[in-house]
Each structure stands twice: as C-alpha cells, then as structure tokens.
Structure 1
Amino acid sequence: MSGQYRDFLELPYEELEELNLAAKEQRKNRVAPDKIQEERLKYLTDTKGIKAVTVVFSDLEGRLHMLDYDKKFLIGSYDNLTFDGSSIRGFTAQRESDLRLAIDWSAFYWTPADVFGAGKVLVFGEVIDKNGGHYAADLRGVLKAYAKEQFETNGYTLNAANEVEGFLFEGVEAERNYHLTGTFEYANSGGYYHSLPGDPLREFIDTTAEVQRAMGFENEKDHPEVAPSQFEINYTYGEVVAAGDQIQLYKLICRQVATQMGMTASFLPKPVVGVNGSGMHTNVSITKDKKNLFWDPKGQEKISPMAWEFVDRILTHGKDICLLMNASVNAFRRLDPHFEAPNQIKASATDRGSMIRIPIGNEKSARVEVRSVGPDANPYAVLYAVFKSGLDGETAQIENLRQAERYLPDNIYTAIEDFRSSEWTTKIFGDDVKGRYADLKQASADRCARLLGTIVKPSEVQFHHDVYNQLLWGQF
C-alpha cells in the first residue's frame, strides 16, 4: 500500500527526548497516578497521528512481551485488557488462564518511528490476577509494591543503575541458528575502547545511544568492552522500578537496532569461551529527603554503617539469590576466575573478583555495586532480591564475613538446590512463585549437558530463556 495516504506520528529525536524527559520528571516527582492517567488519555485522544499503543510486560524469567492495542480500543478499554496467561511461561495454568493488564501510565514512552514504527507509543503494563490484585508472578509489580512500601514507611527512595554488557554478532538469527553453525561470528575484533568510527560495532553503539537519548535515558558513556565485538552503553541512575524498565528497553532497543543492521545483539552471559563474558553490574543506593544514606565521608571506604549492613546482608544471602542473578545454564560459564569473574562472596573496593565492589564515590554517587549479575537475569527479580535482602535480610555470624573464603556456585544445579532449600527465598517470593521459577530453571538445565566443558553447547543457547521458542522445546 502506498505511504502517501498515511499520516502517522513521526517526531524528531530532539522532540522525543523533551517529551520523555518531562514524563520521567513526573515519575521521579511521584505525580499522582490519576493525574498522569488523565493527561495521557487526553494526549492519546487529541493526537490523531497515533494508531497503536504498545503495552509491554515481563514474564517470570524476565522475557519481555509486547502487545499492540489499537489506540481507539485502548482508550475505551484500558481498564479491562485481558490476555491468556497460560501461554506465558511461569504464569497461570490453563485452567485458570485469564489475566488482565493494567496500564502504568507513569511508565509511558514516546518512541522513534524509524526503530519502533510510525504512529506508536509504548507503555508498561502491570499484570492483575482474576481477583483484581497484583499478580504474584509479575515481579515488576512485586518490586513496585516493595519500593512504594519503603517510601511510605521509611521515606526511602530505592535507586539503581545497571551496566549492561552484550555482544554484537553477524546475522539476524545468530542465536537461533547456533545449533546449525556452532559458532558466533564477531562484528568487530577490536577490544576495550577500540572501535574505529564507522565500523559496524561503532555504528551500532552510536545508533543505540541515539535511540536511548531520544527515549530519555540520559546517557553517560558508551564504548566497546574488553572482549571482541562486546559493548556497554551506560546511562544515569533512576528510581528502582524505572531502572528495571530501562534495562528491558535497553535490551529491546539493542536487539532492534542490531536486527535492522542485519546482526544480533546477544545478552548471553558467556556466548564465547576464552574471552570475557557479559555482566549486568547492579549499582544501588538509598536516598531519603534527597540525601544519599550510603555516603559517609568518615566511614570505611567512605560509605555509611547502613551501607555496610546492607552489604553484609547481601553477602549472607549470596548463595540463596544466586539463581536469580545467574539465571541460565550459560551464566555459570561467566563465573570463571580467569576473566575477572565476580564469584567470591566477599566485598572489596578494589578486587573485581568480589561479588560486591565499593566504587569510589562522593555524596551524590556513593553506592554499592553487585557485580555477580548476568545480563539475561530478570531485572525486577534482581533488584527486588538485592534491596529486600540488603534491607530486611539476616546477617550471618561468620568470622570476617566480608573477606571470608566463600564462593558462588559454579553450575546451575547447585544454584537451583541452594535456591530451593533457602528459607529466605521462600520468605521473599512465597512457595508458589519460588517453585515455579525453580521448575523453569530445572527444565532448562535438564535439556542441557550437565557438565559445562570447554565449548558452548547448542542446547544452552537453544533452551536459553531469551532465545526460547515453542518449536525448539517441542523437538526436545
């Protein structure tokens, strides 16, 4: 059909950035939800160039799902958007499959037409169960409720920023075709900070950064990482739920830009043996009345006693929550001490092999960095587990806890066992959701070779939750 008859919304990147930053400021300032809802509905009604609203939500493993609703339909039915939960891994059983999506109008994004399509905007959804409450397996909703409770009870604002690494490989189906090729082909063989202007990796990073900037990410820096064809694109701190949303958008943007270039953006933690894997270093802090509670200029490493107590509790529960942070068979290849792997359950200002690092900071930037997180983990599960453990967890009576010789599991089976047997994970997730999550990880692990060995096996890519499709599982 000829495009001359179409007149859908296509905004310049500069205007997109202004709109998204204004929406971000509303969210940051906790503008009343009903006021934002009214404003967004009026915008959708008055703006004729919008044809559809993309509503996104995440399943239990962190896989992003997207539904496009016709704008007119959504305006009239936004409070009754039903979907079949039995088709979503880790959600409801077939006999009780009906779920609903509520719209989180504060998490509303204007998207670049050349990447997401003309005439579309995007908003995050919240999964509602058949009784009208938040659905327990929607960990975004769990995190949002916990963050709200901390703010209302203690005045705490939970903050996070994640450094998400990935690889750029040749071919649009590089992961799905791995069982045929047995290899990933680098788009660039340079290395840390080294990529010539105009080469494929630099073009990918530049384009992705432009899209992020337009969507209000407030970029900080971007660069090739240590391994060939590896990248990292950093952006600013945010309130914890918004930070989780940005991780999901970051990965979506990377994948879409790579696909448009005829390539694949992969967030497998260790797609290639012999080079550094990819991490999702998770930087967290807590503020109250705009004061960083983790900062103490006279404290050890210039962080406060509260921050050290937070660290101690995470170290105590390190093995309990390891499966949440390293959520796949492939993730345990990354926990290799030969490649700066953060597999030691200790804290350090300098040792990058430690699970937790205390970066150099000041009153604004003082934070705790949890390094042992893979980029394929469910960001909402990770952030919830980190803050819940750090604030409400126990402190082990272990001599020299912060430097004790303890290590994270080196395989997913041990991590699953630790997760299942932990009283703490039952406390924070409940028996039902905990069991569903562990069962999903067990099912993936059982489809892969038990011993990792020295090469990446096709099964650990084929049955990876980010790559998963029904056909592959049906052929097992």
Structure 2
Amino acid sequence: MSNPLQDFLSLSYAELEDLNLAAKEQRKNRVPADQIQEERLKYLTDEKRIKAVTVLFSDLEGRLHMLDYDKKFLVKSWDNLTFDGSSIRGFTAQRESDLRLGMDWSAFYWAPSDIFGSGKVLVFGEVIDKDGSAYTGDIRGVLKTFSNAQFQKNGYTLNAANEIEGFLFKGADAERSYNETGKFEYVNTGGYYHSLPGDPLRQFIDTSAEVQRAMGFENEKDHPEVAPSQFEINYGYGEVVAAADQIQLYKLICRQVATKMGLTASFLPKPVVGVNGSGMHTNVSISKGGKNIFWDPKGEEKLSKFGWQFIDRILTHGNDICLALNASVNAYRRLDPHFEAPNQIKASAVDRGSMVRIPIGNERSSRVEVRSVGPDANPYLVLYSVFKTGLDGEIAKIKNLRQADRYLPDNIYDALANFTSAEWTSTMLGADVKARYAELKQASADRCPRLLGTFVKPQEVQYHHEVYNQFLWNQF
C-alpha cells in the first residue's frame, strides 16, 4: 500500500530500460572505473528519492546474497563496508571472519519498483580480503581478473550468452517445503511452445520478460519448454562478467515474480523424474578488435582452428570440470541420455547429446555451446571454468578426441573424485579454494542417498545449495 508521505524513486519501465542500457554501454566500452564511480556517487547524492542501495555478491557455490545499505550511509562509507564472512558457506572461518565489500560501480542496475520495491537501486559488490586484496573465494572477482588480463595481454573480449531453463511450481515455498510434501505441482501441462495467453505460466513468462527488458537484458525470445511448467527466456550476449551477473539477476527476477504470484520458480536441474530436466546451455565466443575469432567461413563447421582448439581443451578436461558445471546431487539426474542429456564428452554440430555443440552461425554469431551445464551452478565458476580451460588447458592425445566414446559421470561422487584428483582444477582454482568447494559438495552429497533411484528424494532438495537455509540444514 502506497504512503503519500513517502517520495521514493519509482520509474516507468521505458525510463528504466534507457538508464540500464546506457549503463550497459558504458560497461561494454570499458569506461574507466574512476569515471563511472564519480558518476554513480554524484547520482546517488543528487537523487533524493533513493532510500537504499542493494549490494549483491555470490558465495563459492553461487548462491546470491543481498545487503541493503542506507543510501546516505553508503555515499559516505562505500570504501569501508565490512561483513561477517564466516556466515557465508565456503567463505572465511569464524576466527577470521571480517571481509570487505567493494563496489563494482559499472554493474549498476535500476529495477522496477513494483517488483523490487521503490527507492532502491542495485549494484554488484566485490569481496575484498582483510589485506585489501581480492578475496580468492569470490569467483566473480576471479573471473573479472581473468577477463581483464585476457583483454590487456591478448586483446581478447570474452563473450557469453546463457539459455537458462527453469520450472514454475504451485506454492510460494515449494522447494523449502518439499521435505514435507514430497512433490512439486505443475501450474501448466501444455508443453513445448504451448501456453495459452493469460494462463499462469504465460503470465509469469510475460512479467519476467518485461522486468528483464526494463533492466537492459535486450531480450530475444521466450517460451514454455518441453516439460510441463518449464520455461526459458533468452536474451543477448555480453562480456563475460556482465553475462554472469545477468544470470544471477535472471534467477532473482524469476523468483521474485513467481513469489508475487504465489508460485515458485525452481532452477533445480531435475526436479521431476520422467520429464526433461533444466539446463543452462552456455554459448561462448571470443572477439579481438571487434572481430569474432571463432569464425572461419572455410573451417570445419565454419569454426576457426582457434575455436576447435578451444573445444579440444574443454573435451580434454570435461570430467575434471564437471563438478563446476553440475554442482549438485540433483544435477546428475539430468545427465540421463533418455532426455536429450548432453552427457557424451564429444563435439557435434547436430547431436544434442554432445557436451559441446557448434550451432549454425555467421561472422557475428559464431560460437561454441557447452550444453552440460546445470542452471543451479555458480555462473561465475561456470564461465571461468569454460574460458580458462578453453584458453589455457591441455589437449589430450586421445584418438578421435572430438568423437571418442567418453561420458560424463552420472553421480556426484564420481564427479567429486574427478574434480579432486585433477591437476587442472588445482591450477585453475588454487588448492585452497578447490578444497573448500569440494568440501561443500561432499557435505551435501553425504546427506543424500548415494543411489539416485527413480524419484527425487527430499534430501536432494533440502540440502541443495540454492534452497539451503540454517533451519533446513540442521534437520539431519
């Protein structure tokens, strides 16, 4: 209910889109950080209708965290924001808990007031260790450092676009109450591309798409997916850190819209057995001097030698990085060949069971699609793993590497064993972060049945990192 005494910022969707696209263009053009910082602080100071700034950051598993800072306090204290890192799974130990939050002023968003509340803006934060260095457990910072280094050293711009599928279920708290109900209820049973105008699924998709458009996503298409009550909303590619931020915002928007409708947007990879699971197909390319260097009109599948070497490295390390791309017990239900699952460690232009696909493209759209990614994975870790591996990994001397008879693991225990024993994951993440990530995954796995079986167990949901809360975790 509105209060006539309050005068908080509330902009039209068209105004929001203009502001967010302008900020997106600054980020794309790599406008100097100090210039953007000065602009944002001036804006916050001058705009009296803003009451709070929501700062977002992600933990090691990819769960999104948000803190609201009073606007006036933030303007004065933005360079000295501390928080308790020991309360975040996978961050610091209790005895060394203090961490700082820096502001990535280029990752600044205006959000619709009817969805997020009036008088607020959003900005992504950067986690900083006690000594002022980037915190190693903040994979967003790791990805940003890697991306900037590639641009400065090689002139590479790392580009990504993700196709994120999810389910819409009845009830505002369907995941957290799954251990009591033992089931998810569809809101729609229409199937692929089919949903009547005005039904709950279509209404949810339309509203979410409108919010994304207002927040500068530059939408492309949206539709119900193959499984009942399943959805996908596609948007344009972006520089890799911005692309990962948009994944976090996409899921946040969907969850918020669903909650306001009394429903649940779920990004569990396989919440219902017997129908298609949800994936996060990850499309990547690299450009240099504005030219897509994956494109070669004379290359095999019109992909350059550079692009094929990128693929070969991913195939070589497919099992090593599987745990980063499929981060939960439930994710391994999706890697089932009966439902178009991309569980074969090979590359193909047509076979959707391949881990890597080469979609039809042209000079602008030529890309590599990594299909074996769950929508619940840490997006920063996914994109870092894909680009770091594709650029710096090894190429194995395996006969017919691109079509070899090799498969991804069908359970998290094998994925954990591959991840922990691989030298490549130590090189990629460092021993400390690798060990902490593996420990979190082991803890979740140990609380769940070792054999997946033919129906989703309450523990798969209860101890899932995206559903996690202290109350549920302690019911063991």
Q: Secondary structure at the match of 1:246?
A: helix
Task: Please list the CA deviations of residues 289-341 of structure 1 after superposition, one character each: whole Å capped at 9, or x if unmatched.
Answer: 00000000000000100000000000000000000000000000000000000
Note the 1:250-265 alignment, pairs <5 A.
250-265=250-265
* Alpha-carbon distance between aligned partners in 2 of 1:169 and 1:472, rounded to the nearest angstrom: 20
* Equivalent residue number for residue 190 of structure 1: 190
* Equivalent residue number for residue 242 of structure 1: 242
* Alpha-carbon distance between aligned partners in 2 of 1:306 and 1:55, rounded to the nearest angstrom: 38
* Alpha-carbon distance between aligned partners in 1 of 2:286 and 2:274, rounded to the nearest angstrom: 37
Amino acid in structure 2 at the alignment position of 1:177: S
Note the 1:137-176 alignment, pairs <5 A.
137-176=137-176
Amino acid in structure 2 at the alignment position of 1:81: L
* Equivalent residue number for residue 93 of structure 1: 93
* Alpha-carbon distance between aligned partners in 2 of 1:365 and 1:2, rounded to the nearest angstrom: 46
* Alpha-carbon distance between aligned partners in 1 of 2:216 and 2:4, rounded to the nearest angstrom: 31
* Equivalent residue number for residue 180 of structure 1: 180
Indicate how the Cα distance of structure 1 residues 79 and 371 shifts in structure 2: closer, same or farther if over 3 A, else same.
same
Amino acid in structure 1 at the alignment position of 2:267: F
Indicate how the Cα distance of structure 1 residues 149 and 118 shifts in structure 2: closer, same or farther if over 3 A, else same.
same
* Equivalent residue number for residue 380 of structure 2: 380
* Alpha-carbon distance between aligned partners in 1 of 2:172 and 2:34, rounded to the nearest angstrom: 42
- Gaps (5+ residues) in structure 1? none
Identity of aligned residues (%): 79
* Equivalent residue number for residue 115 of structure 1: 115
1:48 aligns with 2:45: no
* Equivalent residue number for residue 454 of structure 1: 454
1:356 aligns with 2:356: yes
* Equivalent residue number for residue 269 of structure 1: 269
- Gaps (5+ residues) in structure 2? none
Note the 1:259-408 alignment, pairs <5 A.
259-408=259-408
Amino acid in structure 2 at the alignment position of 1:382: V
CA drift of 1:2 comes to 6.8
CA drift of 1:48 comes to 0.6
| Structure 1 runs of 4+ with >3 Å offset | none
Amino acid in structure 2 at the alignment position of 1:143: L
* Equivalent residue number for residue 416 of structure 1: 416
* Alpha-carbon distance between aligned partners in 2 of 1:181 and 1:79, rounded to the nearest angstrom: 46
Task: Please list the CA deviations of residues 429-454 of structure 1 after superposition, one character each: whole Å capped at 9, or x if unmatched.
Answer: 01100000000000000000000000
Q: Secondary structure at the match of 2:430?
A: helix
Q: Secondary structure at the match of 1:405?
A: coil
* Alpha-carbon distance between aligned partners in 2 of 1:73 and 1:215, rounded to the nearest angstrom: 25
* Alpha-carbon distance between aligned partners in 1 of 2:472 and 2:4, rounded to the nearest angstrom: 41
Task: Please list the CA deviations of residues 375-429 of structure 1 after superposition, one character each: whole Å capped at 9, or x if unmatched.
Answer: 0000000000000000000000000000000000000000000000000000010
CA drift of 1:473 comes to 1.6
How high is the TM-score relative to the length of structure 1? 1.00
CA drift of 1:362 comes to 0.1
Amino acid in structure 1 at the alignment position of 2:36: I
* Alpha-carbon distance between aligned partners in 1 of 2:328 and 2:144, rounded to the nearest angstrom: 25
* Equivalent residue number for residue 22 of structure 1: 22
* Alpha-carbon distance between aligned partners in 2 of 1:4 and 1:224, rounded to the nearest angstrom: 40
Q: Secondary structure at the match of 1:26?
A: helix
* Alpha-carbon distance between aligned partners in 1 of 2:312 and 2:276, rounded to the nearest angstrom: 28
* Alpha-carbon distance between aligned partners in 2 of 1:358 and 1:442, rounded to the nearest angstrom: 33
* Alpha-carbon distance between aligned partners in 1 of 2:181 and 2:359, rounded to the nearest angstrom: 41
* Alpha-carbon distance between aligned partners in 1 of 2:99 and 2:338, rounded to the nearest angstrom: 46
* Alpha-carbon distance between aligned partners in 1 of 2:185 and 2:17, rounded to the nearest angstrom: 34
* Equivalent residue number for residue 226 of structure 1: 226
* Alpha-carbon distance between aligned partners in 1 of 2:260 and 2:468, rounded to the nearest angstrom: 21
CA drift of 1:83 comes to 0.1
Amino acid in structure 2 at the alignment position of 1:402: R
Amino acid in structure 2 at the alignment position of 1:401: L
* Alpha-carbon distance between aligned partners in 1 of 2:332 and 2:311, rounded to the nearest angstrom: 23
Task: Please list the CA deviations of residues 46-69 of structure 1 after superposition, one character each: whole Å capped at 9, or x if unmatched.
Answer: 001000000000000000000000
Indicate how the Cα distance of structure 1 residues 310 and 2 shifts in structure 2: closer, same or farther if over 3 A, else same.
closer
Count residues in correspondence: 476
* Alpha-carbon distance between aligned partners in 2 of 1:455 and 1:109, rounded to the nearest angstrom: 40
Amino acid in structure 2 at the alignment position of 1:428: M
Task: Please list the CA deviations of residues 184-214 of structure 1 after superposition, one character each: whole Å capped at 9, or x if unmatched.
Answer: 0001000000000000000000000000000
CA drift of 1:180 comes to 1.1
* Alpha-carbon distance between aligned partners in 2 of 1:243 and 1:235, rounded to the nearest angstrom: 10
* Equivalent residue number for residue 214 of structure 2: 214
How high is the TM-score relative to the length of structure 2? 1.00
